[in-house]
A and B are shown apart, each in its own frame.
Chain A
Amino acid sequence: MHISVRRAVAAATMVILVAAAGACSSKSGSGTSSAPVPGVTDTEVVVGTHTPLTGPAAAGYSKISAATKAYFDYVNANGGVNGRKITYKIMDDGYNPATTQQVVRQLVLQDKVFAILNGLGTPTHTGVLDFLNTNKVPDLFVASGSLSWNQPQKYPYTFGYNPDYTIEGKILATYLKANFAGAKVCTFGQNDDFGDDGLKGVQAVLGSGGVTHSEKYDVTNTNVAPAIGALKAAGCQVTISFSVPGFTALAIGTGAQIGFRTQWVVSNVGADYATLAGLLKAAAGPLLEGVISDAYLPSVDDSSNGWISLFQRLNTQYNGNAPWDGNVLYGFSVGYLFVEALRAAGKNLTRQGIVQAVEKNGFTGPGLFGLRFSKSDHSGYGGLQMGKVQSGKAVLFGPVYTTDDGTGAVTESNATPAAPPANGIPA
């Protein structure tokens, strides 16, 4: 009969194990259970994010959430927002959608966060859209330029942050049309929404025949030589690259090796100079000189900009002086926007309230152009300025352009960005 004894032992251990796990969960949940709104007490608001801290996408991107947290630490040290300190729970998903499912459920169901802020990645975040919206969890400022985030009817709680890749494609193409008239324009894009939406924008301006040749790459295959060779064979004089930093570096490096002389134009997602220079090492100077890009945040190298000097100061004080680059700037900007939204949602903070506050918009962050948020539009930044690498620095020039993701024209904006408040905290 000892088999049944063994079974009983096994069963008992399992019950104890699960019960212990359950006990842990109820303990950590009870701190906020008295409050009517999940994650909100009179003295604290808890928000969470999913982001790659490990794995192939972690390089660069892992610095974003740390910078956002550093900004919250600064705000907390100055009394928080409406008397509440912000607690930011950062969960590593390794850019694996299955892990994203797990960690976002943990944040919402177990840690009872008030909102998900700046969840990173198109494939990863797509998987949790339904979950977050059925549970009515504000899903603010997704770190990706996919068009999926702007579906207010279907996903009323989700808001984007980056300008979508279609408006970026349209703006880049408009600049090229005016400044490189008659040149053979080609594209090199990531084989997903990023590359597809970008190409769509370029074709909206140049016409489908306006793109001489189009190549794609997959993140899982680092051999871009055949694609770059095909672009060279097609005689591309200007090449627009919708690529992440790693593949921008590969494309430019491979192009140099095979003697492909082209004007590189790179999407802002993959154009951060510090990140590219780190990847291209000694060759960075000559290879990146003259590369054209665009930006919706001020240039990281522009220390005369009030926002840049503010965030650089906070980076030293609160972020362990992390190497200053576009990712750190991005993280601080997201933190600033969230604090603005919290403030606008008022003392009586509810999930519905912050959604309404974001839809009401009126935010004045470091962006070169405003955010497009409204009741019928949940997409993020709507304007971009052209930039160029000059003597190893990214320099922005010309007007800020804005457009829509449809057939609308690209227009110049004459709005001047606001200066940051003196203490660096939204008033």
Chain B
Amino acid sequence: MINSLEDRAQCEISLTVNGERKTVLAFPLERLLDVLRRQLRLTGTKEGCGEGECGSCSVLMDGTLVNSCLVPILQAEGASIVTIEGLAAGKRLHILQEAFLECGGAQCGICTPGMILAAVHLLSKKSEAALEQIQDGLSGNLCRCTGYVQIFEAVAKAACGTTTSSS
């Protein structure tokens, strides 16, 4: 039954974030980005443009890369979300985090979490991605500092499995 007074109320949304089951109370059109940052205090996910152009709010939703600024929280009901905070295993960094550190793939840092999640998504589909595929895979993530070269190098390094942490 659709009752407008009732439906304009907040609703309970259950989802898994970085492996943990969470239940949040939110308005259904609230952006996944805001729920992550404000309610769950996962501020690693950054807001850049807020309109799906820059990729800095990228997270994985059921293994798929999405811009969390464009996902209404209702559509994340039951989903499994991975943010930058969910990549490291304890103190051991993810191979891509390691590679970004080694190659100098981060400068001001705003794009970095999204960049790394886009790279995780890419390598989950194409574990040995070549440069052209890396460029395509990261083409929705903008960086205004590095000029991309070190970022591509970092992903290529992780793709070849030649970072320190993988040895």
A and B assemble together: no
**Residue ranges of B at the interface with A (Cβ–Cβ < 8 Å):** none
**Residue ranges of A at the interface with B (Cβ–Cβ < 8 Å):** none
